[in-house]
Structure 1
Amino acid sequence: MTSNNGLVSVESRFGVPETIDRLVATVTGAGLRVFARIDHAAGAHEVGAALRPTELLIFGHPKGGTPLMQDRQLAGIDLPIKALAWEDEQGKVWLSYNDAHWLAARHGLGDSSREAVAAIAAGMQKVVAAAAGADQA
């Protein structure tokens, strides 16, 4: 796992589509909603450009994000949660997402959303590990 500028990246044992499929299954199994799945590589192909496999999943639940927006409404710019599966130059696949504590710092969130931020951070670590196969050694 690597962390850079608020982004957490976990290496996946699976290809990009399967990683996102596994993430969809994991988050929906946890009672979260999937709002969108965006295939950036397909979009690039539509305009005649090349892009390594890259897919974005947007998901969440009002129970998790609402306390953040009640604290600082502009936190909604970073909600719902997003995760990006992407293939690097060496062919490794990564699943990356914004660290919830970094988002809290970015928006100056306070005590009223502290528990929600901690729950989002723990939940993301768990669902990303499951989707990437990092919980299976």
Structure 2
Amino acid sequence: MANNGLVSVESRFSVAETIDRLAEIATAAGLRIFARIDHAAGAHEIGASLRPTELLIFGHPKGGTPLMQDQQLAGIDLPIKALAWEDGHGKVWLSYNDADWLAERHGLGDASREAVAAIAAGMQKVISAAAGVGQP
């Protein structure tokens, strides 16, 4: 992980399929899908090109509320977001903010530790599954 707080996992699938899988897995886990943004389609609307890039915004009040109760400005980074994108070599990546980095960014205290740990574990699980990590 770079110092920018981002975690990137290579996906075995296209950008669209990666986001489809993530949305399905998140929904099955009881999370809410708030928005799906196709940045490449937006670029196309203005006559610009952009490699496939899609953002999924998802989460659940049970995870984010404790963080905002601790430091309300944490809400700028909530709900959780994941970006599927294709690099210049045709590889697809699924990237998201590291939960510990978010805790440090917002100065979250000990009261938020459990929620941060749960978000970190949950993200690792859904991201890995959506990207096909560890699957044959």
Pick the TM interval, shorter chain: over 0.9
Query: After the TM superposition, which residues 1-137 of structure 1 pair with which residues of structure 2 at under 5 Å, given as runs?
Result: 3-4=1-2, 5-137=4-136
Deviation at 1:81, TM superposition (A): 0.1
Code of the residue aligned with 2:97 in structure 1: it is N
- Aligned-pair Cα RMSD in Å: 0.5
Runs of 4+ with deviation above 2 angstroms? none
Structure 2 residue ranges without an equivalent (≥5): none
Distance in 1 separating the partners of 2:120 and 2:67: 13
Distance in 1 separating the partners of 2:58 and 2:31: 7
Code of the residue aligned with 1:135 in structure 2: it is G
Identity of aligned residues (%): 83
Is the partner of 1:11 in helix, strand or coil? strand
Distance in 1 separating the partners of 2:29 and 2:127: 12
Distance in 2 separating the partners of 1:100 and 1:6: 8
Q: List per-residue Cα deviations over 1:4-58 (Å, max 9, x = no partner).
A: 2100000000000000000000000000000000000000000000000000000
Distance in 1 separating the partners of 2:113 and 2:127: 21
